[in-house]
Chain A
Amino acid sequence: MTPGWLSQTFPPDGASAAEGIRNQLGRPELDLLTILVREAAQNSWDARVRGRRRPVAFRIEFGSVSAAHLGAWRELLLQNAPLDHQLPLRGALRRSDIRLLSVSDRGTTGLGGPTRADVAQGANHDFVSFVRNIGEPRDTELGGGTYGFGKGIFYLVSKAGAVLLHTRCATDEGLQTRLIGCALWKSYVGQEDAEERRYTGRHWWGEAIDGIVEPLIGDAADQAAQRLGLQPFEADETGTTVVVIDPMLDDMEPTQAAEYVAESIAWQLWPKTIATEERPQGMQFAVRCDGREVPVPDPETTRPLDLFVAAYRELAAGEGKRLECRSPRKYLGRLGLAKRVGLPVPASMASLTAGIEDLVHHVCLMRPAELVVSYFRGPKPPSELQSYAGVFRADTGMDEIYARAEPPTHDSWNPHSLQLPESTFVRTTFRRITEALEGLLELGGTARGGGSTISLGAASGRFASLVAGADGLGGASDFKPRPGAASGGRAPGAGGGVGGSIDRGGRDGSRLNRGRIEYVGDPYLDSRDGATVVVQDFRLPDVGDHEVHVDAGVLTGPGTRETEPPIGAAVPTFVAWEGDQGRVVEDRVLRITGGDGTTWRVIVRPAADTVTELDVTVRSAPGQS
């Protein structure tokens, strides 16, 4: 018998229309490819063969039907295919390039159990719940979803609304291969034997038996799969391949889409790749595009995901912070945190999808199933060089509550979709996480100056009375610079044996009768009578009588002056004051009238082999204004 398509008509007592099923995912925030990656991988993980040595291998492959198989595709899959307006499959199959997106898992159970929904034998309903029933609750304990909406995504990604399901599972008669086509588009009114009938918009391809399409089974399935060019199963292998016909790639080239998917796997599924005590083997992911391997970033070594892995490891080691709700009392889960200093990592398309720009300050939320729900944005660290990541994993006792707070795409926790007190638990979770993050930033000693270079010593001192009891930084207390020792406007002389510089601040503090002085340029070296001297030009801007003093000394460190010269060592000596028109004053104190714009020079003979510093001060003469 030739396999072909059969479209579902509405039974007299009603059924779900295709539109209803397609809308079950709601209006997801995430793009379809990302949802596909998340849902498919979670399905695969839930279908893992327990107690098996081999890891779950998950592969996504972008490709086309090869020329050798095109004929078979058309011959087999056009058989009784719905009309163009009923399902856009025919058009897709007629094209010279039939694009495919295959999602496969191995090391999984395959879709077993009965193939008809009305058979209640055994506990395994995998085949039926994938192929027939949509919206059936998961039976996997702590599984990734709460509803069976996940597989709807395969149809949404297919522009043809159609997928092929190729699976191998254990049955009472041993391992069995099954092959069936499923399509989901929209309900319509069609003709059957010249009579109008309403159709649900669901179609199946396979062997029609008693008005129900059954999958091809065993040899028939193997042969059809071979003709269609599907990857055969090894003799002892179980698993499932879902072939999405004519996938929607969001206007991306297939290679681009493959890279995006590879990155998304890393961002959305990284916890699954990590081996832990309960999970001796992490899940293995691979992406291929037109036969070429597209590397999936390793979260353990890829920035900034490695930071999340570090936080996760803290949890895996049984550490991390317990978060609790106090009223009503409830243990919510544990939070692991990790932080690092380093440059921000440029964002990728997949990281942006995850909600993370270059700077990581996020906490990855997950339930015990360890599927990434979302990345909760925490407070930004005070420095761009600082980033932190956290992982919050809900306690098993809270799994159900968080799960119910999730939309069908499982990508957020919405407290408002819950009743009291459960909504409180979810709200409190976010609050506790934020508190923990604030603590993290606080402990890191963000007091250690931001990006600015201005000196805060003085400002800090002004506020010191508010913390009178507390000491400064214990570790540095012994060696902190003395107040006033900070270097001001000094310019030590260049290299050689002598030099000059000037102190622009005042060191004697008697501000009241202190006059103003205007320096003209920096001190410089010159020579007088064949000897090297230091010269500083200055003006006195204020009108009135002034006394000008110069104090020359030797610097022994930044801002530190020698108080007493070494025995037998030279000291800087005052030479003269020079005004304009060759006026020379050799008195130590210069008594002049200011405000006339005259540039004066003070001449000092430096001490050899020192940095000589000049400090010029002006006082209004007593009795003068």
Chain B
Amino acid sequence: MLVVDEEQIPLPSHLPDWDYRTDIRLRRTVQVDVGALRTGAGLPPDAPIALAVVWTATGSGLRSSPCRIPIKAADTESVHLDVRIAGADLGGLLILETVAVLDDRMPAAAPISPRRAGSVLWRERCELRLQGDAPQFPLAIVDFGRTSFPNDAGWHLQISPNLSAATMGAMLLLINERNQAAMSAFKNAAKPRAVDKAVLSTIYMDVARTMVEHALRSEEFSETADYEDETLGATLTALVDQLFPGISIGDLRLRMENAPAHFASEIQAAVKVFGDD
């Protein structure tokens, strides 16, 4: 359970709007069958066991254990874990592990039974995303049924009119969880099937088109505009340059306005839709 404002909620997969001033407070109750743990690992009945929570934060690169509780019971014990993790130590993905470990060195009973202190007897892992996992393109899977987007849409590119905003915060490709084809394509993106490739290529092309047209429709988008690195303006400039090298923005605008259908095909060609990847 995640504790937000003294209220307990089941651990979500991500915590929106986290910043490092937000400490993370977590509670859970674990039923530990110590007897079974010992027997299962081939340990003697007096083997000391401790339960601990260990977190790792990918953003700060830190790991720590805020809570370790030696278990005294011989058979089953109910352990309440209540930890508070300083937000200042965190970032990225917070990986939380609840582990039961051998709490001291044991002379080996059997060749395969644990003897080193800290040997894991049981572990359970969960994750809480606090910040992006450094995606190169900001993506999110969302159930469109819970948004204002049409339920049956496949994707939506959110893009800010503010070209001076940082790209990572100003653009977001939302994939509709309800759309099977789009979902599978994104899920399988590492090893896409033929159909996934086609879907990905289509979405890629559409995103490129949306970005290019968004840029061209923006009055402030021009060759002379000087955008800071990593801003949306810089990203769009780079993209337009990459897709239409050597063609002026004014020219592109005219093409988009006068022959929108042809322009759409030009974008398809530029991104090599359904081409090799």
Residues of A in contact with B (beta carbons under 8 Å apart): 339, 341-343, 379-386, 438-439, 442-454, 456-473, 475-481, 494-498, 525, 532, 609
Judging by beta carbons under 8 Å apart, are A476 and B204 in contact? no
Can you show 23 pairs from A to B with CB atoms below 8 A apart?
A: A341-B4, A382-B147, A442-B170, A447-B132, A447-B139, A448-B16, A449-B140, A450-B141, A451-B13, A452-B13, A454-B141, A459-B139, A459-B189, A463-B139, A466-B207, A466-B211, A469-B237, A471-B230, A473-B135, A479-B60, A496-B42, A497-B115, A498-B112
Given A475-B91, A476-B91, CB of A442 within 8 Å of CB of B169: yes
- The listed residue (A442, A463, A473, A525) touching B132 by CB distance below 8 A is A473
Given A447-B169, A450-B140, CB of A380 within 8 Å of CB of B147: yes
Given A380-B148, A456-B186, A467-B171, CB of A448 within 8 Å of CB of B132: yes
Judging by beta carbons under 8 Å apart, are A480 and B134 in contact? yes
* Residues in B152-199 with C-beta less than 8 Å from chain A: 158, 160, 166-174, 177, 185-187, 189-190
Q: How far is the CB of B189 from chain A (nearest CB, A)?
A: 4
Q: How far is the CB of B137 from chain A (nearest CB, A)?
A: 4
Judging by beta carbons under 8 Å apart, are B129 and A496 in contact? no
Q: How far is the CB of B168 from chain A (nearest CB, A)?
A: 6
* Residues in B122-153 with C-beta less than 8 Å from chain A: 129-143, 146-148
Judging by beta carbons under 8 Å apart, are A496 and B131 in contact? no
- The listed residue (B9, B139, B160) touching A343 by CB distance below 8 A is B9
Interface: B202 (CB within 8 A): no
In whole angstroms, how far apart are the Cα atoms of A287 and B139 in the complex?
50
Interface: B70 (CB within 8 A): no
Q: How far is the CB of B65 from chain A (nearest CB, A)?
A: 18
Question: What are the residues of chain A within 8 A of B173 when measuring CB–CB?
Answer: 463
Judging by beta carbons under 8 Å apart, are B134 and A444 in contact? no
Judging by beta carbons under 8 Å apart, are A461 and B160 in contact? no
Judging by beta carbons under 8 Å apart, are B7 and A343 in contact? yes
- The listed residue (A468, A476, A481) touching B59 by CB distance below 8 A is A476
In whole angstroms, how far apart are the Cα atoms of A465 and B137 in the complex?
8
Judging by beta carbons under 8 Å apart, are B17 and A386 in contact? yes
Judging by beta carbons under 8 Å apart, are A473 and B134 in contact? yes
In whole angstroms, how far apart are the Cα atoms of A450 and B145 in the complex?
13
In whole angstroms, how far apart are the Cα atoms of A468 and B59 in the complex?
22
Given A456-B141, A525-B112, CB of A446 within 8 Å of CB of B16: yes
Question: What are the residues of chain B within 8 A of A464 when measuring CB–CB?
Answer: 136-137
Interface: B53 (CB within 8 A): no
Interface: B264 (CB within 8 A): no
- The listed residue (A439, A456, A469, A496) touching B230 by CB distance below 8 A is A469
- The listed residue (A342, A478, A532) touching B61 by CB distance below 8 A is A478
In whole angstroms, how far apart are the Cα atoms of A468 and B204 in the complex?
14
The prevalent SS among residues of A at the interface is loop
- The listed residue (A341, A456, A469) touching B16 by CB distance below 8 A is A341
Q: How far is the CB of B59 from chain A (nearest CB, A)?
A: 5
- The listed residue (A443, A449, A460, A475) touching B136 by CB distance below 8 A is A460
Interface: B117 (CB within 8 A): no
* Residues in B1-16 with C-beta less than 8 Å from chain A: 4-5, 7, 9, 12-16
Q: How far is the CB of B239 from chain A (nearest CB, A)?
A: 6
Given A385-B12, A466-B204, CB of A459 within 8 Å of CB of B186: yes
Judging by beta carbons under 8 Å apart, are A379 and B147 in contact? yes
Question: What are the residues of chain A within 8 A of B200 when measuring CB–CB?
Answer: 459, 462
In whole angstroms, how far apart are the Cα atoms of A453 and B13 in the complex?
7
In whole angstroms, how far apart are the Cα atoms of A384 and B129 in the complex?
15
In whole angstroms, how far apart are the Cα atoms of A341 and B2 in the complex?
11
Question: What are the residues of chain A within 8 A of B172 when measuring CB–CB?
Answer: 442, 446-447
Interface: B254 (CB within 8 A): no
- The listed residue (A384, A479, A498) touching B92 by CB distance below 8 A is A479
Given A379-B147, A477-B134, CB of A342 within 8 Å of CB of B4: yes
Judging by beta carbons under 8 Å apart, are A460 and B17 in contact? no
In whole angstroms, how far apart are the Cα atoms of A469 and B140 in the complex?
20
* Residues in B238-257 with C-beta less than 8 Å from chain A: 238-239, 242
Given A467-B171, A470-B230, CB of A476 within 8 Å of CB of B42: no
In whole angstroms, how far apart are the Cα atoms of A612 and B158 in the complex?
46
Question: What are the residues of chain A within 8 A of B166 when measuring CB–CB?
Answer: 470
Judging by beta carbons under 8 Å apart, are A467 and B235 in contact? yes
Q: How far is the CB of A549 from chain B (nearest CB, A)?
A: 22
In whole angstroms, how far apart are the Cα atoms of A463 and B166 in the complex?
17
Q: How far is the CB of B268 from chain A (nearest CB, A)?
A: 14
Judging by beta carbons under 8 Å apart, are A454 and B186 in contact? yes
Judging by beta carbons under 8 Å apart, are B140 and A446 in contact? yes
In whole angstroms, how far apart are the Cα atoms of A456 and B237 in the complex?
25
Question: What are the residues of chain A within 8 A of B129 when measuring CB–CB?
Answer: 448-449
Interface: B50 (CB within 8 A): no
In whole angstroms, how far apart are the Cα atoms of A307 and B231 in the complex?
32
Closest partner residue, chain B, to A470 (CB atom): B167
In whole angstroms, how far apart are the Cα atoms of A609 and B113 in the complex?
10
Question: What are the residues of chain B within 8 A of A532 when measuring CB–CB?
Answer: 111-112
Q: How far is the CB of B253 from chain A (nearest CB, A)?
A: 20
Q: How far is the CB of B277 from chain A (nearest CB, A)?
A: 7
Judging by beta carbons under 8 Å apart, are B142 and A450 in contact? yes
Judging by beta carbons under 8 Å apart, are A443 and B169 in contact? yes
